[in-house]
Each structure stands twice: as C-alpha cells, then as structure tokens.
C-alpha cells in the first residue's frame, strides 16, 4: 500500500470522494463527468506521488476510462475498480466502499478508515484525577497548584 500513509497524496485525491458519495446516495447512473474529474485529479496528484504510487495512479486513471458512455453494469464495474485502486492510496469511507461490493473476486482490498482513538478511561474517584486533566486547568495553573502543594 504505497500511498496509504502519504497525507499530501490523500489530500490531492480527496476531490474524488464527493462524487463517489453522490453515487452511493443517488445511484451510479446519475453520475456524469467522472472521467474528466478523475483525469484532472490524477494529473494534479502526480506532483505528490512517490515511485510506488505512480503505477497506482496510472491504474486509477485507466480504471474509469469509458465510464461516461458505458451502460449501468459497466459503470458499476468501472466504479468498483476505481474504488479498489483509490483504496490502496487513501482510506475509503464505508458508504463509498459499499459501491465496490458487487464486484466479487477482486484481488485488492479496500483500506479501512482509521479507528478513532479510545476515550481515556476515567477513574472511579474524581478526586484521584490528576490536576492537569481537570477541565480549565492547563500546564501553567497545574504547575502553580503543584508549587503550593495542592494535589488531587
């Protein structure tokens, strides 16, 4: 997964996510002008591509050729291929990754969205909470309280 950790490349390719969200909501047949958009976005993203991601960008651009003039089944197939290639370059939200499901037996896998960090566990006793973790207490106030010997 060449570009998965490259934030600049992910940001350059992010304009493709909005039309894919639209396709997930409204249907693939309502999506127009995707070929031009993909070609334009891929050209702009090449400036941020590494050696490993250049080939993926080529496959990304090739996966959608003929999309605007294709019938519904071909559009669905091309969109699934686009999402699979895009998934190797940036995390794909679940609502968009559902568009790739009809294409069974695909070799690639979609990249999952990063999970949110677990919320810090709270102690049972609020008085046992360190001063720095209290709401409204920053490092400066915590230092002053500690200098006065006040602790929780």
> pLDDT tens across 47-59, in order?
988 888 888 999 9
* 100-115 per-position pLDDT tens digit: 875 444 444 555 556 6
In sequence order, what are the residues at sequence separation of 6 or more whose Cβ sits closer than 8 angstroms to the Cβ of residue 130?
A: 152
* 73-128 per-position pLDDT tens digit: 899 999 999 999 998 888 888 888 888 875 444 444 555 556 666 666 665 676 77
Q: What is residue 27's predicted lDDT score, i.e. its pLDDT? A: 86
CA dist 74 and 77 (Å) reads 5
Contact 152, 135 (CB under 8 A): no
Q: Cα 38 to the chain's mean position, in Å?
A: 16
Contact 98, 24 (CB under 8 A): yes
Q: State whether residue 151 is helix, strand or coil.
A: coil
**Cα–Cα distance list, 103 to 34, 95, 118, 147 (Å):** 19, 16, 34, 64
């Amino acid at each position: 997964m060449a570009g998965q950790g490259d934030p600049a490349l992910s940001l350059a390719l992010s304009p493709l996510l909005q039309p894919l969200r639209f396709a997930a909501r409204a249907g693939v047949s309502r999506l127009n002008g995707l070929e031009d958009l993909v070609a334009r976005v891929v050209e702009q993203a090449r400036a941020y591509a590494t050696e490993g991601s250049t080939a993926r960008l080529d496959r990304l651009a090739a996966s959608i050729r003929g999309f605007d003039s294709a019938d519904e089944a071909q559009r669905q197939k091309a969109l699934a291929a686009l999402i699979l290639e895009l998934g190797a370059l940036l995390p794909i939200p679940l609502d968009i990754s559902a568009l790739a499901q009809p294409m069974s037996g695909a070799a690639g896998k979609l990249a999952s969205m990063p999970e949110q960090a677990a919320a810090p566990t709270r102690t049972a006793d609020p008085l046992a909470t360190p001063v720095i973790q209290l709401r409204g207490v920053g490092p400066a106030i915590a230092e002053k309280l500690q200098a006065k010997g006040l602790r929780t």
